[in-house]
Amino acid sequence: MEHAEPDPLGPRRRRLLVTGAGGQLGTALRRAFADEDVVALTHADWDVALPPPAGLAPVDLVLHAAGWTNVDAAEDDPQGAAAVNVGGTQHAAELGAPLVHFSTDYVFDGSKRTPYVESDGPNPLSAYGRTKLASEAAAGDDAWIVRTSWLFGETGTNFVRTILRLAQERDELAVVDDQRGCPTYVGHLAAAVRELVELPRGVWHLAADGDCTWAELAETIVAEVGLRCRIRRIASAELARPAPRPAYSVLRSERPGAPRLPHWREGLRACLERLL
Ligand SMILES: NC(=O)c1ccc[n+]([C@@H]2O[C@H](COP(=O)([O-])OP(=O)(O)OC[C@H]3O[C@@H](n4cnc5c(N)ncnc54)[C@H](OP(=O)(O)O)[C@@H]3O)[C@@H](O)[C@H]2O)c1
């Protein structure tokens, strides 16, 4: 019986490419996969609306975290959003390596009142949601397509950081109370992605456990930090934002062995610990 000789250099580290590496999820992915050989490409390194620069291959895994994420701005410039979200995903797939692509709860219309699972039919309400649904097709059948929701982390622009700043400046904040979802900490999502790449490909829902409205999340942030700011609960219509959002977009997985993420309150605490 023959035995393979152990490689004196140890097992080869995978070469991973992270797009959108300067974004909040890209930053968390770089951290979660820090023991691998990570090629981190920011927007300045590769505008994904353009074909990939020469010399990136060979790559063992592509974590495609780049995207047009300004939901309201996509209403005014749907083609610009599509160039990044659809064209960019196609370009990432063209690298020919196994691909993890990130999509959104905004592919759903929010008419359900029980959690959305992978087999539920999408019906996006916004231009952003339509580009993200089309991006899933661009990623192809052979990719891991991660639908996630309401991301926050220590970096970038997100709800948690915005509320922290505003709650220190004001006595009262008006926050919408008629959208319900799963606020997901990017550190927890990135850890779940490590598990996911050992599982079969296809669409997976990966979002924090539990659910809440934006107003409930804001109240929890203020309470955790011990600020005095009052949260006034309002309806989305009062904000009159350009893009409609689903009223209910709680995500759960129906797939066997799906990675489970901690509760959003745990994610919030983990994020605040790093922030404060
Ligand atoms: N944020 C959420 O609540 C949420 C929810 C569900 C799904 N997702 C999805 O998760 C992924 C990551 O989102 P995120 O929250 O990390 O967003 P983010 O913080 O806005 O990061 C997105 C990154 O993509 C970069 N980018 C934008 N246009 C690009 C282009 N043409 N070429 C290359 N890079 C470009 C941005 O760079 P610049 O800032 O320099 O432009 C930014 O670094 C996206 O696919 C998003 O659709 C997000």
Task: Using a cut of 0.85, tell me whether the model's pTM lies above it.
Answer: yes
Q: What is the pLDDT of residues 88-118, one digit of tens each?
A: 999 999 999 999 999 999 999 999 999 999 9
With a 6 A CB cut-off, is 183 part of the ligand 1 pocket?
no
Q: How far apart are the CA of 128 and the centre of ligand 1, in A?
A: 12
Shortest CA distance to 159 belongs to which of 233, 225, 218? 218
The ligand 1 atom nearest the CA atom of 47 = 32
What pLDDT is stored for residue 10 in this prediction? 60
What pLDDT is stored for residue 5 in this prediction? 55
CB 143 within 8 A of CB 100: yes
pLDDT, block means (10 residues), the chain with 276 residues:
51 90 98 97 98 91 98 98 98 97 98 98 98 98 97 97 97 98 98 98 98 98 97 96 98 98 98 95
Residue nearest atom 32 of ligand 1, based on CA coordinates: 47
What pLDDT is stored for residue 3 in this prediction? 45
Q: How far apart are the CA of 20 and the centre of ligand 1, in A?
A: 6
What pLDDT is stored for residue 2 in this prediction? 39
Q: How far apart are the CA of 41 and the centre of ligand 1, in A?
A: 12
CB 145 within 8 A of CB 101: yes
Q: Tell me whether residue 128 is one of the annotated catalytic residues.
A: yes
Strand-pair partners of 62: 17, 99
